[in-house]
Structure 1
Amino acid sequence: MRSLRYLFIAFFITFFAFPSHEATAAEENTSMEVKLKNYLGNRTSVKIKATGDYRTSGGEIFIKAGENLTLKVESGKLAVYKGFKKMGSYASFKVMPGKPDASLFINGRPYLGSFSFTAEDGYIRPINHVYMEDYLKGVVPLEMPALWHAEALKAQAIAARTYALRHQSTIIDDTVSYQVYGGAAGHYRTNSAIEQTKGMVIKHDGEIIEAFFSSSNGGMTESNSNVWSSGNSLAYLSIKEDPYDSKTNWEIMLDKQQIDLSKMDLSKPEEWWASVEEKDKTVVPKLKVWLKNNGYANKDIKITDIPLLTFTDEKTGGRVTKGSIQLNFYVRGLVDDRGKLLQQTVKLTNAAASKIRGMVGQEVMKSYLVDHSSTDPSKISIEGSGYGHGVGLSQFGAKNRAEAGQSYQEILGFYYPDTTIEKEYGPGAGSKTELVVKSEPNSVNMKAEPDHLNDEVGITYSLKEDAVVTLTIKNSKGKALATPVRDQTMKKGTHSAIWNTKTVNNGTYEAEISAMDRTGNEGLATMAIKISKDTSAPKITDVNTSGNYSTEKANITYTINENANVTVEIKNSKGKVVGILSERQFTKGRQSATWDFKNMSNGTFTVTISAKDKSNNQKSISTKVSIRKTTGIVTARELYIKKNKNASSETVGNLYRDQAVTILAQQDEWYKVKKGSQIGYVLKKHVKK
C-alpha cells in the first residue's frame, strides 16, 4: 500500500506540472510563460476567482471552484486571504488547474493554464503558463480586429504563433513589447483562424523567423536593421513598396510658445501659476510625464516654449533614426537668490528618434516614417504615415490584400519572402508549403502639395510602368467629390494633376489613385490630404487716436496680428470720405498713420481701419475722433502776432479786426494762436472767444 501511495503522489505531481490543455505529445513543448502586466498593472492587492479547483505543486487544493481569494503584498511576501481570514504567507507559489477548461479570474479577467505568483518590486506579478494555441486565442483578437477578413486573421495567427515560438525560451509579457495578450476571452472568428492554422509557423532556411508585424507600414516596408541597429539585416524582412497598406496618417502641430509670460511677474508666481496653461493638450502632458521621470519627480511644471523639434537621418526605407528637441520650462519652487523663477532647459541633439518618439508619445508620433516637416517662427508641423515600426506584416495591408482576394499564403509570401510555412505540430505535422510572392500590381507613389492661396492642391504620382490611371478625391464619408484624372493612359514615370479646392471646406480628404497595366494588374494607392485654409481674419487691436492742434494733425495707432494690406479711411458725419491715409502692405505689429485736419471744420469723424491678409480674409474696425478747434475774433484794428510771449518779440504775422483765428492755448495773458501757416502769440485782451 505504501508503494502505491507514493506512486499516486508521483503521478499527481507529474500531471499538474503541465499547463491546462488537452495536448498531444508534440504540443507539450509549445507552452508560453507570460508575465501579466498590461491589464493588471502594478497592484499590491489582487482578487482571484476560479471556475474549477486549482492545486499547488504539492497537490493541496489552493482554491476551489467558485471560491474567491485576495492576494496582498505584506512585508515583501504574498499573503492569501479568504474574506478577512489570512490563509498563509508565501515568497512565491504555483497553482495548477484540475481540469483543462478551468479558468482563473485575476481582477475579473479569465486566464487558462497554470500560474506562478511572486512579489516583484513590491507588486503582485503573476506568470501565466499556457499552451500555445490557448495563448494565441488571447493574442490574435487583440492584435487584429476579429471581424476582419478570415484570410487576414489566418495570416495574423501564423505570424503571432511564429513570433511566440521564436521567443519561447523567454518569459515574455502581455504588452506591445511582445504581443498583447488578454487571457481566455477570445472570439469565435479568431479562434477559428487559429484552429485552421494549428501548428503552422514561418521558417527561413529551416529556422523559425522573426515574424515582426505592425499596424500600418505607411506604404513602405522596413528592414529590421534600420529599426533596430543591433543584428544583421534579415533577408525576409526587406524594404519595398506596399500598395495595399492603408497609409495611416498622423501629424504633430505645436505652437513654439506655449505660455506667454512676458506680462507675468516671475517673482510672484503665486499670482498667476494656477491660472495659466499650455496651449497644447496632447503632446505637452506627455512631455511633462517624461520630465517627471527624468529628474523632476513630483514637481509642478509649466512648459513655456518648445523652440525645437526635428527628425533627421533617414534610412533607405524613408524612416528617420535621429531627432532633436528643446524644452524651456519653469518648476514651481526653483528660484534664484532673489526669489525669481529660474528657467530650466532640456535639449537633446541628434538623439535616437525612438527616444524623442517616447517623449511625445507613440500614439501621437505613430511611426518613424516622416513625410513632411516644417517650422516657422511660431509653429512646428510634422506629418507622417504608418503606425508602428513597419517591419514585416502590415495588419492593414493584410486586411486589404485579403479583401482583394489574396489567401493567407499569398499575404505572408509578400511580407516574408523566401520563406515556407511548416507545420510544427497537430494534424499533418511536418508538412511544408513554399510561399511564392504574387506578382504585385503596378505600384503608385503619390505626393500632395496644397496651395491654399490659389485654392488648389498639386498631386504628383509616379508609375513603374505604362498604365490607365484614374485619380478620385473623396470626402470623409467616401463620397467622390472630384476626378482630376479619369481613365487616362499614362506612360511610365512621374505625372501631376491639379485639384481645385475653391469650394471645398477645411477637413481631411482622401485621394485614391488606381493604375491598371496592360495585363490587368491594378495598383491602388490612397493618401490623406488635409485642407486647412486660413479662414481667420486679421485682428486689429489697441486702436488709439490723438490730435495736435498746433500742427493740426491726428496720430492714429493700431496693432495687427499678421502681415496685411491696410487701409485707413476718414469719413465726416455725413459719410463722405475726407481722407485715405494708407493703402499698402504692413507687417504684423504696431503701426501708425497721420491725418492732416487743418482744412477740416469742427465735428466728429469716423476712422475705419481695414486689414486684408494674403488669403483675402478681411477685418475692419472703426473708431470716432472729434475735432474741437477753439476760435476767437480779433477786436483790435490791427494785431501783431509775436514769435514769443513778449511785446518786443519779433513779429511773425498780422491780424485785423473781425478776423477769425484758431486759439491753440492760453498762457498767462497771452493766447497761442494759428492763422494759416502762422503760429505765434497775441494778447488775449484783443481776442474775443
Structure 2
Amino acid sequence: MKKIMCMLLICAVVISVLSPQIKAETVPMLEVKLVNYLGNNSSITVVFNGEYTLSNGKKVSAGTETVMSIVNNALKLSTSKGQVLLENGTITATPLKTDSSLALNGRSYYGSFQFVLEKDTKNNKLYIRPINKIDIETYLRGVVPQEMPALWTMEALKAQTVAARTYALKHINDANMVDTIAKQVYGGITGSHSRSDTAVKETEGLVLKYNNTLIDAVFSASNGGKTELNSSVWGGNAVPYFAVEEDAYDFHPSTKEKFPWVIQLKQQQVTDKLDLDAADTWWTSVKEADADQQVLKNMKTWLKTEGYTSDVNKIKISTISKLELDLKALSAGGRVSKGSVKVEYLLIKADGKTAEKKTLELNGVPASKIRAMVGIDKMPSYLIDVSELKNGIIFIKGRGNGHGVGLSQYGAKNRAEAGHNYKQILQFYYPRTTLVKEYSNASSNSNTSTNKTVKKDTVAPVISSFKANTDYKKNTVKLSMKINKAGKTTIIMKDSKGKTISTLANNKAVKSGSIYADWNISKIANGNYTAEITAANLDGYKKTIKQKVTISKPAKEKKGSVKASVLNVRQKPSTSSKVMTKLKKKQTVIILSQQGTWYKVKSGSKTGYVSAKYITVLK
C-alpha cells in the first residue's frame, strides 16, 4: 500500500522484492480500478469524448451522453434519450483514437474501459466498478500531481515521478491496483497538470533497480527528520535500498519545524455518577469532555468497525484510563512499535432506556492498532517524542507524516530548492539503487507529448459559504469556507487599521471542497476584524476576498465583598436615593459596572448601587 500526497497519510505496504519484472520496448499498460473519486455507485453518467467501440461491436459517436445503471443484476448502458446501447454483465469501451476520453461523473480519463459489477461484502449491495486500462506514462500524468503539488520545484517532481513509475511497475499485476492511497492516487486527465506532464516526459521510462530488480519505491509526505527501514514498519526482512539516516531537509518550508503533531485528551470523559437504568433521561444531553475532538470520534468509529456497536450514536466514551505508546520499544529509526489502551464506554441497550458499562483493554499491541483506533489523521506517524499521563490528561506528541520509508516528499522539495537534482534526491532516499531506462520509444497512445500546447487555467478559484463560528470559552474562531478547485490558500487576519495580526494559512495546498482554519483570540480585543483570503489555482492565477469577523467577548464577571457592617443598596448612585436592600459584612456581590465612586452590583435578584469604598474587589 502506499504513500500520501502533501499532508495525507500512507497506508501500510507489504514489500515484495520478487514480483515479475517488466521488460518492454514500448510503454507497458496497466489496469486501475476507479474507486477514489467515483466511490460506490449503482448509476454513473458516462460521456464519450471521442468515438468508442462497445463490447457488442456498436460504435458510439463523440459527444454522446449516457447513463450506466444496474438492472436485474446486469449493467445497462443507455443514452440520455433512453436508447439502450448494451445490457450485459460486463461492458467494455475501446477508443478508436488515442486522444479520445471518457468522462465518468464529470472526471475524464484516457484509455479503454471495462465496467464490471462489484459486490460490497458488508452490505451485499452491487456497484459499478470501472477499470481503466492505460499506458503507464499517461497513468503517471494523473498520479504525480495528485501525490505532489504540481507547482513544486521541477527536480522534486521528477524524483516523485521516478518513484511513482517504479512503484507502479513493481505492482503492475496486483489485483487491488486502485486509484487511492492504498496504491497511488490517480486522477485521470482531470487531475493532470502541465508541469508534472513535463516531469513525466523528461524522465520517460526511468526506474530504480537494485541487483537488476525493480525496487518497491514507497514514499511518504514527511519522515519527521529520520528515515526508516521497511522491516520496522511492515515486518519481514530489511532490504538493502532502505536505510536509517538523519534527514536534515525534512521540514516544513515556512515554519522550519519537522511537522509536529499532538494528541491531548482528558482521562475522564463522562461522569461516573449517571443512572444507567434511566439512560433515556440524560443520553442526548450528556456529552464527553472531548466530544468535539476528532480523536474521540475516530475511537467511536473504530469501535463500530470492530463490531463493538452498530451505531456510533449508541456509544459514549466514559473514561480513557490508558492510552500510551511504548517509548522503550523503538525501531531502528526511533519509531514506536507497541502501545496499550484501556477504554471504558457506555452502550445504550436495545430498549433505548437503559445503558451498560463496557471495558476495552489492549496491552502491548502493535502501534498500528493504536493508530487505527485514534485515527491516522490524528496520529500521522510512529515517530513519538512524548507519551505521558499527567494530572488526568493524556498527552502524546510526535512528528512527521507517514511511515518514513523511502522518499520524503517535503524532503525532496527542500532538497530541490537547495539545488539538488532529482538523481541526487533519489540516491539519498533509495541508496544503493541504480537509475535505468526500462523502456523507450513510447507508443502513440501514451498521450505524454509535451509538444502539445497545454491550456492554462486562467480562472482563479472561487471562495464561497464563508462562516466564522466563535467559541468564547475556548477563545477560538473556526473559519470555514468552500473552494471550487484545487490550489493554494493564504488566510490572514487584519485589525480595523488594516494591520496583519495573524496568519492562519500561508500558501497551503488544498483540494476542492471545504477548508477550515482556526484563529486563537485569547489575546484579541473586542472589535471588527477582516479575514483576507487569497486563493490561487494550480497555474498561479489568484483572487482575494475579504470577510468581516466581529469579536465580542462577554465581559469578565467581577465579584466583591462587603467590608462595612451594614451597606445600603440604593436605587440610584446617590445617598439621597431610595434604599432597596441592605447587605451584611463579608457578603459577596457581583460588580456589574462602575459609575464615579459607585458600583452597580447584583445580589441575589436585586440590582442597585453601593458606595465603592465599602467594597473589596475579589481576585
Task: Note whether the superposition's TM-score is higher than 0.5.
Answer: yes
Q: If the length of structure 2 is used for normalisation, what is the TM-score?
A: 0.65
How far apart in 2 are the matches of 1:74 and 1:302? Answer: 42
- The answer (yes or no) to whether the contact 2:266–2:394 under 8 Å persists in 1 is yes
Deviations along 1:278-304, whole A, 9 cap, x unmatched?
223211111221122222223622222
Question: Aligned match of 1:192 in 177, 191, 198?
Answer: 198
d(CA) in 2 for partners of 1:277, 1:41: 33
* Pair 1:298 & 2:300 matched: no
CA deviation string 1:593-639 (max 9, x = no partner): xxxxxxxxx99211679xxxxxxxxxxx9999xxxxxxxxxxxxxxx
Instruction: Check whether the contact 2:566–2:583 (CA below 8 A) recurs between aligned residues.
Output: no
Q: Is the 8 Å Cα contact of residues 335 and 342 (structure 1) preserved in structure 2?
A: no
Please state whether the residue corresponding to 1:139 is helix, strand or coil: helix
- Is residue 372 of structure 2 the alignment partner of residue 364 of structure 1? no
Instruction: Tell me, in whole angstroms, the C-alpha distance in 2 between the residues paired with 1:314 and 1:25.
Output: 42
Residue 605 (str. 1) matches residue 609 (str. 2)? no
**Whole-angstrom CA distance in 2 between matches of 1:211 and 1:604:** 79
1:458 paired residue number:
none
> Using the alignment, how far apart are the partners of 1:163 and 1:75 within structure 2?
39
In structure 2, distance between residues paired with 1:257 and 1:76: 51
Could you say what secondary structure the match of 1:373 adopts?
Answer: strand
Post-superposition shift, 1:176?
0.6
Q: Which residue of 1 aligns with 2:485?
A: none
Aligned residue in 2 for 1:82: 79
Q: 2:432 aligns with which of 418, 421, 441?
A: 418
What secondary structure does 2:276 align onto? coil
Q: Distance in 2 between matches of 1:211 and 1:266?
A: 53
CA distance in 1, matches of 2:298, 2:187: 26
> Is 1:103–2:107 an aligned residue pair?
no
Identity within the alignment, % = 43
Q: Give 1:340 deviation, angstroms.
A: 4.0
Give distance in 1, aligned partners of 2:583 and 2:373: 63
CA shift, 1:157, in A, is 0.5
Instruction: Please name the residue that 2:245 is paired with.
Output: 240
Shift of 1:92: 1.2
Q: Aligned in 2, Cα 1:155/1:608: closer, same or farther, shift over 3 Å? A: same
Indicate how the Cα distance of structure 1 residues 58 and 340 shifts in structure 2: closer, same or farther if over 3 A, else same: closer
2:267 counterpart of 1:287: no
How many Å separate the matches in 2 of 1:420 and 1:235?
12
Confirm or deny that 1:400 pairs with 2:414.
yes
Specify the SS of the correspondent of 2:140. helix
Q: Gaps (5+ residues) in structure 2?
A: 1-22, 120-125, 252-257, 444-500, 505-521, 525-555, 568-581, 590-600, 605-619
| 8 A contact 2:348–2:354 mirrored in 1 | no
Whole-angstrom CA distance in 1 between matches of 2:342 and 2:188: 42
**What's the offset of the Cα at 1:377?**
4.3
What is the alpha-carbon distance in structure 2 between the residues aligned to residue 49 and residue 188 of structure 1?
Answer: 24
Shift of 1:305: 2.0
Gaps of 5+ in 1: 1-23, 430-474, 479-503, 507-538, 544-567, 576-601, 610-620, 625-689
Q: Distance in 2 between matches of 1:603 and 1:47?
A: 77
Contact 2:38 2:105 in 1 (8 A): yes
CA-CA distance at 1:376 after TM superposition: 2.3
Q: CA 1:341 to 1:298, structure 2 compared with 1: closer, same or farther past 3 Å?
A: closer
CA distance in structure 1 between the partners assigned to 2:171 and 2:231 by the alignment: 19
Given that 1:36 and 1:173 are in contact with CA atoms closer than 8 Å, whether structure 2 keeps it comes out as yes
Q: CA RMSD in A?
A: 3.2
Residue aligning to 2:488: none
1:322 is matched with which residue: 330, 338, 363?
Answer: 338
Per the alignment, residue 283 of structure 2 pairs with 273
Is 2:231 the counterpart of 1:221?
Answer: no
Distance 2:583 2:194 in 1: 85
Residues 383-428 of structure 1: per-residue CA shift (max 9 Å, x gap): 1111010000000000000011111011111101111110112269
Give the secondary-structure state (helix, strand or coil) at the position aligned to 1:251: strand
Distance 1:73 1:249 in 2: 47
TM-score by length of 1: 0.58
Residue 564 of structure 1 aligns with which residue?
A: none
Equivalent runs, 1:662-677 vs 2, <5 Å: none
Alpha-carbon distance in 1 for matches of 2:200, 2:434? 18
CA distance, structure 1, for counterparts of residue 55 and residue 603 of structure 2: 89
Trace 1:612-631 onto structure 2 (pairs within 5 A): none
Q: Could you tell me which of 146, 158, 174 is aligned with 1:170?
A: 174
Q: Secondary structure at the match of 1:120?
A: strand
Alpha-carbon distance in structure 2 between the residues aligned to 1:236 and 1:90: 47
Aligned to 2:207: 201
Equivalent residue of 1:136, what SS? Answer: helix
Q: What is the aligned counterpart of 1:65 among 51, 59, 62?
A: 62
SS in 1 for 2:265: strand
Name the CA distance, whole Å, in 2 between partners of 1:73 and 1:298: 29
In structure 2, do the counterparts of structure 1 residues 407 and 505 end up closer, same or farther at CA, with 3 Å as the change threshold? farther
State the Cα distance separating 1:58 from its structure 2 match.
5.5
Query: Could you tell me how far 1:114 is from its partner in structure 2?
Result: 0.8
Contact 1:302–1:331 (CA under 8 A) maintained in structure 2 = yes
Asked whether the 8 Å contact 2:566–2:585 carries over to 1, the reply is no
Deviations 1:341-397 (A, max 9, x none): 211222222222212212211111111111112112421111111101000000000
Quick one: distance in 1 between partners of 2:502 and 2:418? Answer: 22
Is residue 221–residue 392 contact of structure 1 (8 Å, CA) maintained in 2? yes
| 1:27 partner letter | T
- Which secondary structure state, in structure 2, belongs to the residue aligned with residue 40 of structure 1? coil
Cα offsets for 1:447-467 (capped at 9, x unmatched): xxxxxxxxxxxxxxxxxxxxx
Q: How many residues align?
A: 431
Matched, 1:390 2:394: no
* C-alpha displacement of 1:197: 0.5
The letter for the 2-side match of 1:394 is S
Q: Distance in 2 between matches of 1:199 and 1:374?
A: 49
Residue 181 (structure 1) aligns with: 186
Contact 1:254 1:280 in 2 (8 A): no
Query: Whole-Å Cα distance in 2 between the matches of residues 97 and 376 of structure 1?
Result: 64
Q: Is the 8 A contact 2:24 2:438 kept in 1?
A: no
2: CA distance, partners of 1:540 / 1:266:
37
Residues 25 and 161 of structure 1, relative CA distance in 2, 3 Å threshold: closer
Larger radius of gyration: 1
